[in-house]
Structure 1
């Protein structure tokens, strides 16, 4: 997978300003390339964007040395515009590794650390946080965060959350990504619904209903998450109260998640960036915790962030 790194090592040491002989302000292709999926948009000069690709060809499905051919295919079908890649494409599992920018990380620092495997093809780095034994990383979320900031949808100083497989709680400091912490809430719910004794209890859709609220309130108030999860099974076997178990379990996990995030402090509204269905659940849990929240669509934020980066490459 990393053979191409050696072929183009000379390119990786160039100044980040060397974005090829491309005029990014005339339009570009933005790609959110994750572990299992990828999405791409054509972003026009005026900022308008339309989706051109949405498939399951994540980085783990690309054969060694196969990324240049994938980029060539995208350009063949959608034009020769420059390409901005974000997400796991820049990890040690992707095309080439774009090393993490240490927090506090500004947008300018992110742009300066972009890697260039080809002329006009840039890979956005992630962000890392270290303090003593505390350590965390993100890839892809940073683009959405700076997109929200670019349109003043999120505060330059304050707390924001990016719900997802690994939820991110981030303290923004003067417009830079400061300390942050990841919580494996989405992955835990997915694992519980596919393996173990709760499989048959967690197959329904999740809604912010009374059972979700009951779970969230428990998660917010107690530190017995693993024990309470087992109680879902026990209450079902003993017929103790009918319950929408999927919504309760989701509320329980998200309540515990929010409890961790609120430890970052702050008193203002919390910006939630992500899929609307997830931000709605987190907003409800935050309401129960007595905190206001603003919800920002993750796709919109990603495109705003990609555009903010491209403007600095012109």
Structure 2
């Protein structure tokens, strides 16, 4: 393998994959994203899917992260236990062949929780100095993660299924016809956040989203933003007890970090948004440097 000369890095999730070609200085010189997540690849077809990436980005060594290492992916790679840093991830690599490594996820045995993919971004941000070595990170996505880091290592985390719940409500609930509008920060979103932060009546308040529109107490076009705010407000209440420090680092895709940053601002915290892609590239570069 010739890691010093560059490699291919892949963030391979459940529904999407993002692949990058990095040169010997760690600079991204080519990339692509598509909808070929692990659930779209038939059993036994992962070698061909990996070959397809090399056909597009070059025939180099490769590091894969995310759900590709899960029991729904190519090769199931055991999780490493908290506390976990980049050294533990590098030591836990599984090799599909002599130039294709799969990065393990992280498990929190105290909370019976797991992650795959987010750990590379969080530890990448810490290794790059983008976030402090000790603090709290919010990583929004289908399954939002609240991650505690200490000494630049992940020491504990908690998952909240906010994104998936909103998707289910949008596609398979009595609210479906109300949740098609774009979600954006604003008065309706903030109102939902405030209710989610203050109350524990989520199931009842979800039904009231429809009732308020029917009774003329709320606008139909505000329903999606209010519902999103309601769910994210509850998420913040779970992830951030008021005793924690005000500054929170929100790491991920910009369309999601802006919503969580808005909710954290309503909650009285000081959010700092970070680009998850850049954090991923920093993390996977540091893992590659640890490969002998």
TM-score class normalised by the smaller sequence: over 0.9
- State the match for 1:258 in structure 2: 236
SS in 2 for 1:228: helix
- Taking the TM superposition and a 5 Å limit, the aligned residue runs for 1:1-314 are 22-131=1-110, 134-242=111-219, 244-263=222-241, 265-314=243-292
- Pairwise CA distance, 1:247: 0.6
Give the TM-score normalised by structure 2. 0.96
Q: 1:265 to 1:160 in 2, by over 3 A?
A: farther
- Pairwise CA distance, 1:64: 2.6
SS in 2 for 1:290: coil
- Pairwise CA distance, 1:107: 1.2
SS in 2 for 1:161: strand
CA deviations on 1:154-202 (whole Å, 9 max, x unpaired) are: 1211111100100000111211111111001000111111111101111
Contact residue 158 and residue 266 of structure 1 kept, 8 A: no
Contact residue 30 and residue 57 of structure 2 kept, 8 A: no
- Pairwise CA distance, 1:221: 0.8
- Pairwise CA distance, 1:52: 3.0
SS in 2 for 1:149: helix
The 10-residue stretch of structure 1 (184-193 or 47-56) with the greater mean CA deviation from structure 2: 47-56
Alignment partners' CA distance in 2, 1:114 and 1:311: 13
Contact residue 66 and residue 103 of structure 2 kept, 8 A: yes
Alignment partners' CA distance in 2, 1:309 and 1:37: 22
Give the TM-score normalised by structure 1. 0.89
- Pairwise CA distance, 1:207: 0.8
The 10-residue stretch of structure 1 (135-144 or 68-77) with the greater mean CA deviation from structure 2: 68-77
CA deviations on 1:28-57 (whole Å, 9 max, x unpaired) are: 000111122211010111221144332222
SS in 2 for 1:168: strand
SS in 1 for 2:96: strand
SS in 2 for 1:193: helix
Deviating 4+ runs (over 6 angstroms) = none
Alignment partners' CA distance in 2, 1:79 and 1:270: 38
| Unpaired segments ≥5 residues, structure 1 | 1-21
Alignment partners' CA distance in 2, 1:202 and 1:62: 30
Alignment partners' CA distance in 2, 1:265 and 1:100: 30
Contact residue 19 and residue 53 of structure 2 kept, 8 A: no
